Structure 1
């Protein structure tokens, strides 16, 4: 009998949220920080890249040390503060890696329930989370962490 041990935590979604809560507590170069996690690609029907010159490198894995990657990218080009940071993976068993900086969220996907207006970042992340291959959208501010999954704002 062969035994395999997965390197994924028991509940990957909760682990991702906890990592993001810890990231928020670090000194980040800017707020709010919008992070999008997807399995597969996100089309330009939902996110559009904003041109940045120079564009910081991509490909870094998402981990608790992402703040260092973020600081380095901000040092290269502070304009990355505008827009979402996109992480993707090919399969659920894979780790997320940094795919793009400065993504403008243009999704028109309908959230499960309408929320009162909390601002464009909140509304955009909420909408994008309803897209079928988006696993999680998050907004990190100095005061809080907001999460959106399957078109639903997750209560803290």
Structure 2
């Protein structure tokens, strides 16, 4: 896990969010339509926000504009490693069919979906932020963090 992602995620959880759980996906390149599908939202909040300390404010504004954006994953992409991530999609349904190499306990559909998606091409990391912890997923494995 890189500090470029884990530090902002920790501060985001500590800042408090307008909704839980929050599912975030980070990718270098495009996320495949075979792994995620857009759920239509009207109005759709703006895209292009950076993944940085302003994210809590961006989420609050988006939630005020359309409270249904809490349903599904929020996707952040970048073109190449080393570039910053920017918000590229709201309210994505995770439909990945990837299977983890080792059995995992069933912690619910959000957990199972993020775990599966973390194995997909171009996915750097997925995470689920809940009030009591952040769960990080990379390459079909999970890690819980309480900070």
TM-score (norm: length of structure 1) = 0.89
Q: Distance in 2 between matches of 1:109 and 1:60?
A: 29
Report how far residue 27 of structure 1 moved.
1.8
Q: Helix, strand or coil: the match of 2:27?
A: strand
Q: Distance in 2 between matches of 1:20 and 1:98?
A: 14
Q: How does 1:127-142 map to 2 (within 5 A)?
A: 127-142=116-131
Q: For residues 115-143 of structure 1, give each alpha carbon's deviation from its aligned partner in whole angstroms, at most 9, with x where no partner exists.
A: 01000000000000011210010000001
List runs of 5+ in structure 2 lacking aligned partners.
none
Q: Distance in 1 between matches of 2:127 and 2:134?
A: 7
Q: Helix, strand or coil: the match of 1:24?
A: helix
Q: Rg larger in 1 or in 2? A: 1
List runs of 5+ in structure 1 lacking aligned partners.
1-11
- RMSD, aligned CA: 1.1
Residue aligning to 2:36: 47
1:25 aligns with 2:50: no
Residue aligning to 2:24: 35
Q: How does 1:137-156 map to 2 (within 5 A)?
A: 137-156=126-145
Report how far residue 94 of structure 1 moved.
0.8
